[in-house]
Amino acid sequence: MKTTVPVIAAFLSGFVMLLAFFFNPETSFLGRLEPEVLSWVTIVGGFTLLLGVVSIIRVNYSSVKRKSSGWGYKLATLVSIFAMAIPAIFPVRWSSLFGTGTGSIYDWLFNYIDSPMMSTMFAMLAFYIASAAFRAFRARNAEATLLLITATLVMLWRVPMGEALLQGIHGNLPNLINTYIMNGANMAVQRGIIIGAALGAAAMSLRIMLGIERTYMGK
C-alpha cells in the first residue's frame, strides 16, 4: 500500500502526459487537462524547494544549540535566512521595504550581497584552473597530447589576439578550427553523447512510469 499507491500515481501522472501529446490541446479533454496537471506539478515542485530551506535551518539550529565548533558562523547563516525571508513575506502595502519587489529589503540583500558573493565565488575558479593547468595538465600519453593540442588551438581561436596569431600562421586556420574541430569532431562526439543520454533518459522514464525504478521514493 505504501509503495503501490505511489507507483500507480506515478504511472497515471505520466500516462496523462503521454496521451495528451497525441491529442489536440484545444478540443480534447486530455489536451485541456494537461496544463492543469502541469500547474499542479509546479506547485508541488515549489514546496520541494522549501524542503531545502527547512533542512538548512534545522542543521544550523542544532549546531548553534549544541554550541559546536564554528557555531558563530552558523548563527550568522540563520540570521541571514530570516533577514531575507521575513521582510519578504510581509505585504507590500505595509511598506515598500517588504515583499520581493524592486526597492525591498529582499531585493537589496540579493542584488548587493548575495549576487556579488555568488559571482565572486565562481570567479575564484579562474585562479584554480590556471594553477591546475600549470601543475597537473600533462601530456602523459598520445590521447592526453591530443587533448592538450586541441585545447591550445581552441584557447587561441576564442580570443582576438590568438585568432590573429592563428591567421598569421595560415589565413584560413580559424575557419578550419571552427569547421573541422568544433563543427566536426566535437559536434560528432556531443551528438553521440546527446543520443546516448536521451536513450538512457527515455529508458529511465519508462522504468519510473512502470514502477520498476523506485529509488526516488527512498527507503
Partner 1 sequence: MTILLVFAYILLILIGAFLLYMAFKTDDRRYIYAAVAFYVIFPVIVTLKLPITTSPEVKQLYDAVEALPDSSTVMLTFDYYPSTLAETEPMSHAALHHLFRKDCKVITMTTIPLGGPSIAERVTRKLAEEYNKVYGIDFVNLGYKANYVAVLKGMGTSIETIYPTDNSGTRLSEIPMMENIENYSDIDFIFVVADNSIVDYWISIVNAQYNNPVGTGVTAVMAPRYFAYISSGQMTGMLGGMKGAAEYETLLNKPAAANMGMTSQSLVHLFIIFSVIAGNIIFLTSKKGRDGKRT
Partner 2 sequence: MSLVEYIQIWVIAFVTLSLFSFLYRDNPFYKLSEHIFAGLSAGYYFGLIWHAVILQQMIDPMFDNGKWWLFIPGILGVLMFSRFSRKYSWISRLSLAFVMGNTAGIFLLSELHGKVLPQMQSTMLSLGFENGLGSFLLALIVVVGVISTLTYFYFSKEHKGLLGGVARIGIWFIMISFGAHFGYTVMARISLLIGRVQFLYFDWIGSIINLFS
Each residue 183-212 as x (binds partner 2 by CB under 8 A) or -, in order, gives xxxxxxxxxxxxxx-xx-xx-xxx-xx---
Q: Is 29 in the site for partner 1 (CB under 8 A)?
A: no
121 by Cβ neighbours in 10 Å (0-12 / 13-18 / 19+) ranks as: exposed
**Is the Cβ of residue 1 or residue 169 nearer to partner 2 in the bound state?**
1
Q: Does 65 bind partner 2 (CB under 8 A)?
A: no
What number of other Cβ atoms are within 10 A of residue 74's Cβ? 21
Nearer to partner 2 (CB atom), residue 89 or residue 164: 89
Closest CB 158 distance from partner 1, rounded Å: 5
Sorted by sequence, the CB contacts under 8 Å of residue 178 that are 6+ apart come out as: 157
Pick the closest to residue 209 from 199, 201, 198, 218 (CA basis): 201
Nearest to 75 by CA among 85, 84, 65: 65
Min dist. Cβ of residue 93 to partner 1 (A)? 12
Under rule CB under 8 A, which residues in 8-47 are in contact with partner 2? 9-18, 21, 37-47
93 in contact with partner 1 (CB under 8 A): no
**Residue 134 within binding range of partner 1, rule CB under 8 A:** yes
Cα dihedral: 24, 28, 32, 35 (round 10): -40
Site for partner 2, residues 44 to 63, rule: CB under 8 A: 44-58
Site for partner 1 in 43-62 (CB under 8 A): 43-46, 48-49
C-alpha cell at 210: 512502470
Residue 98 CA to residue 37 CA, distance in Å, equals 32
Rule CB under 8 A: say whether 2 interacts with partner 1: no
> Hey, which residues between 139 and 168 contact partner 2 (CB under 8 A)?
143-144, 146-155, 157-159
